[in-house]
């Protein structure tokens, strides 16, 4: 599948349904989605770096441009959701209590999505 598949409404709709509910997805799915979107944006950006776009058919260039816009929109939406959830989580944590006993919530930390490990790659994909 080439990046142009993002310009197809069915493909975009499927990805958007995942992006829309990003913070409710399992952490492994969040990571895979983010990796896929980062690669898609970079791939779409590279299509315009080759310099041969002026020689291509107008419809092909339009399709590539739409794919870039769509994949960028999806990645930006994920970044916004992930950053908002991260900030909200930090605010709700509050100060750490000394001598706190281990609870089931502590076990959830092992499976939570680690936005900080993806942030730099995601943002640099948009640059």
pLDDT tens figures, 10-31: 888 899 999 999 999 999 999 9
How many CA atoms lie within 13 Å of 31's alpha carbon, on the beta-carbon side? Answer: 11
Mean pLDDT of 100-125: 72
Per-residue confidence (pLDDT) for residue 104, from 0 to 100 = 47
Rounded Cα distance, 35 and 110, in Å: 20
Rounded Cα distance, 92 and 63, in Å: 43
Lowest pLDDT segment from 39-43, 80-84, 95-99: 95-99
Whether the model clears a pTM of 0.85, i.e. scores above it, the answer is no
Tell me: pLDDT of 115 over 70: yes
Tell me: pLDDT of 103 over 50: no
6 or 124, which is more confident? 124
Q: How far is CA 10 from the centre of its chain?
A: 18
- What are the residues whose beta carbons fall under 8 Å from the beta carbon of 115, sequence distance 6 or more? 82, 83, 85, 86
Per-residue confidence (pLDDT) for residue 107, from 0 to 100 = 45
Say what angle helices 58-93 and 9-20 make with each other, to 10 degrees: 10
Task: Note whether 64 and 93 are within 8 A (CB).
Answer: no
């Amino acid at each position: 599948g080439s990046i142009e598949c993002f310009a197809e409404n069915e493909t975009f709709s499927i990805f958007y349904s995942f992006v829309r509910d990003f913070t409710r997805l399992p952490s492994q799915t969040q990571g895979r989605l983010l990796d896929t979107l980062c690669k898609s944006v970079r791939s779409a950006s590279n299509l315009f770096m080759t310099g041969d776009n002026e020689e291509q058919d107008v419809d092909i260039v339009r399709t590539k441009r739409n794919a870039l816009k769509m994949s960028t929109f999806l990645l930006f939406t994920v970044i916004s959701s992930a950053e908002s959830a991260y900030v909200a989580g930090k605010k709700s944590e509050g100060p750490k209590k000394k001598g706190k006993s281990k609870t089931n919530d502590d076990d959830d930390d092992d499976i939570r999505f680690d936005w900080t490990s993806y942030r730099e790659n995601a943002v640099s994909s948009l640059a």
